[in-house]
């Protein structure tokens, strides 16, 4: 009995899938409008030839060295880890 139910379920699933595919293919084909078809009069578009130059101006690079700034040590125990004494 269980095998018959499984076989019936598989047959029903295949029928539903086949029907859905046929419906979707019919919708995808749509009407045969001439929109998007190329006309025989369409010509080949020729792009302009790119102009190449053989001379280039020399490039100059200038290197500037800037010293790295280092923070000065705190004065008189005013750092974040220094102990403060309230008077």
- pLDDT of 25-63, one tens digit each? 887 776 666 666 666 665 677 788 888 777 766 677 777
The more confidently predicted of residues 38 and 15 is 15
Q: Which residues are within 8 A (CB) of 84 and not within 5 positions of it... i.e. 6 or more apart?
A: 77
CA 13 to chain CA centroid, nearest Å: 37
Mean pLDDT of the chain: 76
In whole angstroms, give the CA distance from residue 49 to residue 51: 6
Alpha helices in 1-87 (DSSP H): 2-29
Q: Rounded to 5 degrees, what angle do the CA atoms 51, 56, 57 make?
A: 140
- Of 23-27, 48-52, 72-76, 77-81, least confident by mean pLDDT is 77-81
Do the Cβ atoms of 82 and 74 come closer than 8 Å? yes
pLDDT above 90 covers what percent of the chain? 23
């Amino acid at each position: 009995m269980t095998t018959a139910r499984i076989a019936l379920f598989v047959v029903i699933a295949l029928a539903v899938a086949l029907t859905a595919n046929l419906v979707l293919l019919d919708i995808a084909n749509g009407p045969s409008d001439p929109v998007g078809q190329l006309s025989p009069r369409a010509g080949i578009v020729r792009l302009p030839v790119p102009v190449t130059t053989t001379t280039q101006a020399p490039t100059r690079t200038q290197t500037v060295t800037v010293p790295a700034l280092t923070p000065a040590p705190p004065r008189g125990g005013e750092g974040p880890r220094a102990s403060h004494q309230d008077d």
